[in-house]
């Protein structure tokens, strides 16, 4: 639950994103192209593997395990067996099928919420970093305000006020992580703005929009990549939390957080129900954290390949 920071220690990734920009900019073009081959840290590859597996499960899991997530069997609260590898729930629904459906839900929420933050945050960051001055000051004050509330609390309030649906949960999570994007993008833009090619482009008469789209944006793709990786896991974790609180995906539809919520009542009789969905959440988030670790090594070689190291700010 790392998003969200203060009056105002930097957002989780400000340092990393910024560092990534300079490292990226400093890399010769050829090594930029070869960067995918540069996994010095095997943990990044493991993370990528976990995430690819998760996407495959979400996309094709239903074709392999041909049981519907809402299909009801006669036997309820079954422990794992050959017929139901992860058991059945209080309504006799197959847990494996529901976890596969939950994978789709979490990916959808992650993609939409991060998409919202990506578009809104990049816009705010580009405009603030390009125009500077009063526009920048105003936008960044608003961003600071949003950091003054713990992230999940803000998401709970927004989702709660809008009404408990998955769409609203996605909007709430998107709003909550937008400031982090805005701030990191602004930092990256400010750095790129210092390069002579921006000045030349403006001297040649390029409009503000053109400079932003053609020259600034392509040069902030590296920090964006790290941001997206990290905040996808935040979004997935937040969706699980909101659904667990009954503010996200609504039953009877399967979602990991929702499954954990309804399993609470049966934790004594059928602990399986409380274990597997949480395990699914943890494995996916772990995948993102592993991948983030690996990406950081590639994009910021100064940090060295140390498993589990954090650069100074978180």
Partner 1 sequence: MIGYIAKRSLLVIPTLFGISVVIFAMVRLLPGDVIDILFGGDVTADEEVKQRAREQLGLTGSYPEQYWRWISRAFQGDFGDSLRNTEPVSAILRDSLPITLELIFLALLIAVVVGIPLGVISATRRDGTRDYAARVGGLVGVSIPSFWLATLLLLFTSRVFGWVPSLSYVSPFDDLGANLAQFILPALSISVFTMAIVMRMVRATMLEVLGQDYVRTARAKGVSRSKVVYRHALRNALIPVVTVVGFEVGVLMSGAAIVEIVFGIPGVGYTLLQAIANRDYPVIQATTLLLAVTFIVFNLIVDLLYGVLDPRITQG
* Footprint of partner 1 (CB under 8 A): 1-2, 4-9, 43, 141-142, 144-146, 148-153, 156-158, 160-162, 233, 237, 240-241, 244-245, 247, 260, 263-264, 267-268, 271, 274-275, 277-278, 281-282, 285-286, 289-290, 293, 306-314
Phi, psi of 135 (to 5 degrees): -60, -50
Q: Of 78, 96, 249, which Cα lies nearest the Cα of 169?
A: 249
Minimum CB distance to partner 1 smaller for 252 or for 311: 311
Instruction: Report in angstroms how near the CB of residue 104 gets to partner 1 at its nearest.
Output: 19
How far is Cα 285 from Cα 280, in angstroms, rounded to an integer?
9
Instruction: Report in angstroms how near the CB of residue 260 gets to partner 1 at its nearest.
Output: 6
Minimum CB distance to partner 1 smaller for 221 or for 283: 283
Instruction: Report in angstroms how near the CB of residue 212 gets to partner 1 at its nearest.
Output: 27
The DSSP 8-state label assigned to residue 221 in this structure reads H
Cα angle: 151, vertex 158, 227; to 5 degrees: 40
Minimum CB distance to partner 1 smaller for 109 or for 220: 109
Minimum CB distance to partner 1 smaller for 9 or for 68: 9
Instruction: Report in angstroms how near the CB of residue 77 gets to partner 1 at its nearest.
Output: 15
Minimum CB distance to partner 1 smaller for 80 or for 278: 278
**Residue-wise DSSP of 253-270:** S--HHHHHHHHGGGTTT-
How far is Cα 111 from Cα 247, in angstroms, rounded to an integer?
19
Instruction: Report in angstroms how near the CB of residue 281 gets to partner 1 at its nearest.
Output: 5
Minimum CB distance to partner 1 smaller for 121 or for 216: 121
> Considering Cα of 233, then 235, then 239, then 241, what sign does the dihedral take?
positive
How far is Cα 210 from Cα 203, in angstroms, rounded to an integer?
13
Instruction: Report in angstroms how near the CB of residue 180 gets to partner 1 at its nearest.
Output: 12
* Residue 156: both structure tokens together: 């709970």
| Residue 121 CB contacts under 8 Å (≥ 6 apart), including other chains | 177, 178, 179, 180, 181, 182, 184, 185
Distance of CA 91 to the CA centre of its chain: 32
């Amino acid at each position: 639950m790392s998003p969200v920071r203060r009056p105002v220690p930097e957002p989780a990734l400000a340092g990393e994103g910024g560092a990534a920009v300079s490292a990226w900019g400093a890399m010769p073009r050829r090594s930029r192209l070869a960067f995918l081959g540069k996994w010095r840290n095997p943990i990044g590859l493991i993370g990528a593997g976990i995430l690819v597996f998760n996407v495959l499960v979400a996309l094709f899991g239903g074709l392999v395990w041909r049981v519907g997530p809402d299909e009801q069997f006669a036997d309820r609260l079954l422990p794992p067996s050959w017929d139901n590898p992860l058991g059945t729930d209080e309504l006799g629904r197959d847990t494996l099928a529901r976890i596969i459906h939950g994978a789709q839900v979490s990916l959808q929420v992650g993609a939409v919420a991060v998409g919202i933050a990506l578009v809104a945050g990049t816009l705010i960051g580009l405009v603030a970093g390009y125009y500077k001055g009063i526009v920048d000051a105003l936008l960044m004050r608003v961003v600071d305000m949003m950091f003054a509330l713990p992230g999940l609390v803000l998401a709970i309030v927004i989702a709660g006020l809008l009404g408990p649906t998955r769409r609203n949960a996605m909007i709430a999570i998107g709003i909550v992580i937008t400031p982090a994007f805005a701030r990191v993008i602004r930092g990256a833009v400010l750095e790129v703005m210092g390069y002579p090619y921006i000045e030349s482009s403006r001297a040649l008469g390029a409009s503000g929009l053109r400079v932003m789209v053609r020259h600034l944006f392509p040069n902030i793709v590296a920090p964006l990549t790290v941001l997206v990786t990290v905040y996808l896991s935040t979004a997935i974790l937040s969706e699980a939390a909101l659904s667990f609180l009954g503010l996200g995906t609504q039953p009877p539809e399967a979602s990991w957080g929702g499954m954990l919520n309804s399993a609470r009542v049966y934790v004594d009789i059928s602990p399986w129900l409380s274990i597997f969905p949480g395990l699914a959440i943890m494995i996916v988030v772990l995948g993102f954290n592993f991948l983030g670790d690996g990406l950081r090594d590639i994009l910021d070689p100064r940090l060295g390949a140390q498993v589990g190291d954090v650069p100074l700010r978180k």
